[in-house]
A = this chain, B = another copy of it.
């Protein structure tokens, strides 16, 4: 059993604490994706698992072994870097076999393993080339191949696709998904691409400022976020947020929306402020003059209407047709209250 378990893991750089006691379990064979805003500690956490950064507190276990202070080499992990980190002076085959060679494996064994990895990744034609002579996608494949060859228990990826252009990114994404299905190892993957996270993950870990905000399957996070941060972070375009006041049992007034609205979740005390969240595709245009059209973005298949409420709050509406509206027109909005989410104004926790 080769899951990865972090317990109250802490990282400090001098006085600055960047990871604040993270608890996390990644199951055996699971594909786990770390997402979060830039600087939230995704890479740091991953590198701590790899052993490239010391752990300042807490413990890290891989399988049954406590590896908190183990050398990277002894953890049984392989890492794929954003920059690929291929050795430029070695051929593809040498790159892939280097780790084994250095740890004293016999040549025939190395050759066999390299051949196998190259078959999986369709690199057979490039084995004797130097990395310089490869395209970005091929390089990324070699980097993955280098990881595979060593047969690690855990794969770590740090934004492996962010240096590729959009088209290749899609292609390699499919490739990685296939790889995971094929070799079934535990994988931890850092990205800040929504689509990668949503499509690859078994489990997404949303991080903010060195803390875990929520852990769960992609659509669970989308449909059922625990707090405003996760709700706003997952999904594109982002969820609309408006302030509302509790004005009765099961009702709120949201001046930025349609005013008085019944809601189904448990609300705080009368007069308290809550934040309502509504995804752009759940908002519709309606009769009225409560909102002003600020911008219209027609992308062909879908259009976005940017509105501003009289409160100054901004809303985005997604629609399938191109609305026949001018900038500055006044419109109303409508929605199905079932789609509403509510968050506590202070703690930003979801009210259910």
Contacts and interface: CB of A to CB of B under 8 A. Distances in A.
Contact of A295 (B174, B280, B281): B174
A318 B301 contact: yes
Interface residues of A, number: 32
B318 A235 contact: no
A219 interface: yes
A28 to B, nearest CB: 20
Nearest to A200: B297
B298 A198 contact: yes
B165 A300 contact: no
Interface string A142-185: 00000000000000000000000100000000100100010000
Contacts of A234: 300
A299 interface: yes
A236 B299 contact: yes
A295 B199 CA distance: 9
Contact of A198 (B195, B219, B222, B297): B297
Interface string A265-288: 000000000000001110000000
Contact of A219 (B181, B194, B235, B322): B322
A306 B298 CA distance: 25
